[in-house]
Structure 1
């Protein structure tokens, strides 16, 4: 007999997950399964990675379908998306997973350029307006703690990101007005861990770090899901006071 878990009244019951560049929504499956088992209503955005504006609109369409407040979660470039989309009244809190958290007036390209280049990073040069991740560097630079077989499938099914995303100038960030949780990846070779720690400190929310690759939400789904649940349980507390 299947057990139905009743949503808790004192937590946010809707979770919206946003993937990053060079990936698609299927990477969230392990986190999705854990959160569903804990009684959450979980939605995964299929953002096209065609521009910041279009990716924000794709996220907004999913937010509009929520039946109440939600926790908005972004990985990598998905963090840039939730930084804008998170200004929606539907969003009660934000969770950044090895993600960009730009401030007003910043660009992702300039943020990356402000730290030494990691030789393992496979973020390539634009081709016809899109950026791909180097197939030869994908495992070491992007998915170092996944199996080579899983990494190979992800590299061959990657979704390129619009080069324009790196030059997009961001407006007022949602993390300035919404409760925020940030998870850094200490073995990240795509976004510098030092930059992630900077984001985590600057957003002023709850910070944690996982010893894993850029894809910590796949390699450490229980730990990531636990932080997301902490956000769901605590995001509405200020509103109750």
Structure 2
């Protein structure tokens, strides 16, 4: 017996017990990298995230490229979007990194709103940007994704790369399958997103791989006020249902 696990035959042979390994400080440190120990780290990330974000007011997550430079028009747009959401009483959540994420955090902070960054341990993009008031660094993408979804009332996606696309399609899947309630996904920038949306409508929907109502889950816009309206309407609908 090893706790709740039963081992027989060759599987049962061991030179030490769990207590012995726990109390013995000698030997290699490889044990901290084993899968069972990772479960504790994963649990700790969820506990830390839930604890830090429990009191966050209504919020919107803004995604976009970490590669956007401060002098790029997309950076200024991110600031405008962050400020507009803050002025409407929404906290702004981003991935906490540079580029568009920094811009949205900066816009929210400078407008007097709450600026939140949920970072991820990567070989690059290290650290939380300076405009974040509440920041958490995660080891695991799936723990971080849960926080984005649990504490946001909407996603706003500016032009971005694989990370932005990953979050976009995960949100759409969870809304489509009703794992989350009404959750608007706003794609900001019709020129950037237009080709993707056209492909979804003509090829994906055209082959019957999504239903016509699924297409309504995506809202494409180039107008900040329109984005705010979509977010407000969805939040009002959510409040009415609760």
Task: Specify the TM-score bucket, using the shorter chain as the normaliser.
Answer: 0.3 to 0.5
Answer 1 or 2: higher relative contact order, Cα 8 Å, separation at least 6: 1
- TM-score if structure 1 supplies the norm length? 0.37
More helix by share: 2
Higher Cα Rg: structure 1 or 2?
2
